[in-house]
Amino acid sequence: MTMSFSLPLVKMQALHKSYGSGAIQVLKGIDIEMKPGDRVVVIGPSGGGKSTLLRVMMGLEQIDSGSVSFDGKPYISSDGRARRTIIDTEVRRSIGMVFQHYTLFPHLNVIQNLILAPCKVRGEPKAKATSRAQALLQRFGLGAKAKAYPAQLSGGQKQRVAIARALMLDPKLMLFDEVTSALDPELVSEVEQVIMQLASQDMPMMIVTHDMWFAKNIASRVIFCAGGVVVEDGPPEQVLGSPKEERTKEFIDRVFHIKQ
Name every residue whose Cβ is closer than 8 Å to that of residue 17 and which is 6 or more positions away in sequence: 25, 26, 27, 49, 52, 56, 61, 62, 63, 64
- Contact region with ligand ATP (CB under 6 A), list: 8-16, 46-54, 102-110, 134-142: 46-54
Determine if 51 is a binding residue for ligand ATP (CB under 6 A): yes
Determine if 50 is a binding residue for ligand ATP (CB under 6 A): yes
- Contact region with ligand ATP (CB under 6 A), list: 16-24, 84-92, 166-174, 198-206: 16-24
Helix and strand numbers, DSSP H then E, in the chain: 9, 11
Closest distance of CB 84 from ligand ATP, Å = 17
Please give the angle made by the CA atoms of 177, 52 and 223, to the nearest 5 degrees: 70
Please give the angle made by the CA atoms of 180, 185 and 187, to the nearest 5 degrees: 65
Instruction: Tell me the residue type at 121.
Output: V
Among 7, 14, 22, 24, binds ligand ATP (CB under 6 A): 24
The CA distance from 26 to 213, in Å, is: 27
Query: How many amino acids of this chain bind ligand ATP (CB under 6 A)?
Result: 12
Among 48, 59, 66, 204, binds ligand ATP (CB under 6 A): 48
Output DSSP code: residue 59: T
Among 9, 11, 38, 52, binds ligand ATP (CB under 6 A): 52
Determine if 47 is a binding residue for ligand ATP (CB under 6 A): yes
CB closer to ligand ATP, 139 vs 210: 210
Closest distance of CB 50 from ligand ATP, Å = 4
Determine if 26 is a binding residue for ligand ATP (CB under 6 A): yes
Element (H, E) at 158: helix 155-167
The CA distance from 107 to 89, in Å, is: 27
- Which residues here bind ligand ATP, judged by CB under 6 A? 19-20, 24, 26, 44, 46-52
